[in-house]
Amino acid sequence: MSAEIKKIGVIGAGQMGNGIVHVCAAAGYEVGLHDISRERIESGLATINGNMARQVSKGLMTEEDREKALARISQAYELDQIADADLVIESASENEQTKRKIFSQICPILKPEAILATNTSSISITRLASSTDRPERFIGIHFMNPVPLMELVELVRGIATADETFETSRQVVSNLGKKIAVAEDFPGFMVNRILLPMINEAVYTLYEGVGTVESIDTAMRLGANHPMGPLQLADFIGLDTCLSIMQVLYEGLADTKYRPCPLLVKYVEAGWLGRKAQRGFYDYRGEEPVPTR
């Protein structure tokens, strides 16, 4: 028997968080969005508004549905404004300490039956769950970026996740119109365990001078039929996120094949994090993106 979820709290108003709020509100859930600053929440809401307007213009949503969805979203400037949520999804940056700190703040104010989920793309669900007061009501719900467009969600149970928690979460994800892939709780789960080493290998290919940014991306787009080249994709994901996932794989699986490329490390140290920083493997400051190598 799975519990009924009516209100969802989302912590983190960045690219992933605002996408999660978007799909939850569009599916009929009441959603509270929390972040550490008022500006971030408002910026997240502006993005949701713009993305929904784009869906209306493409005929994917009616104007009436957009207005109803936006009305279901509330701005939770304080954490206790989502204390009544039935499900809280944490979508902060890919850093274990940050996530643990959020759980230590939210757990004491959540109702005991509420489910706590993380949108982590690589960190151990079992380990994160053990830092909370509800390991059996804790689960990984990993959305893909950009959330409104991508059909897949990886559902990841920790060692303690109860069947009821799993079934309830599965029902919510189905209600969002997403397809589910169930992954075991190993570093990187499935998508990132396969995708990130490919991106890291593309960076090595660049680092070793085998090809330029442009030739590597063209090769994979036209030669492997990928919609986006791996370096372009890395810029889209964020090079800091790529690096942190590679570090999780490298440390968690203790295999040298997951060693992050030194060039990836150098770009992150330079603050060239991809699109969000206007520079990564491409420079986005002009009309068209220009390769930086």
CA atoms within 13 A on the CB side of 258: 21
Q: Which position among 119, 124, 169, 192 bears the catalytic label?
A: 192
Q: Write out the two tokens for 81.
A: 């404004």
Reduced to 3 states (helix: H, G, I; strand: E, B; else coil), residue 187 is coil
- The enclosing H or E element of 192 equals helix 191-207
18 tagged catalytic = no
18, 91, 119, 121: the active-site residue:
121
Asked about 192 being catalytic, the answer comes back as yes
3-state secondary structure of 2: coil
Q: What is the DSSP letter of 280?
A: S
Hey, which residues does 154 pair with through a beta bridge? 142, 181
Task: Please tell me the distance from the alpha carbon of residue 207 to that of residue 265, in angstroms, as a whole number.
Answer: 11
Q: Is 175 annotated in the active site?
A: no
Residue of 124, 142, 169, 244 marked active site:
142
78 is catalytic: no
Residue 288 class from Cβ within 10 Å (0-12 exposed, 13-18 middle, 19+ buried)? exposed
Catalytic residue among 154, 169, 200, 244: 154
Task: Determine contact, residues 67/95, Cβ cutoff 8 Å.
Answer: no
The residues annotated as belonging to the active site are: 121, 142, 154, 192
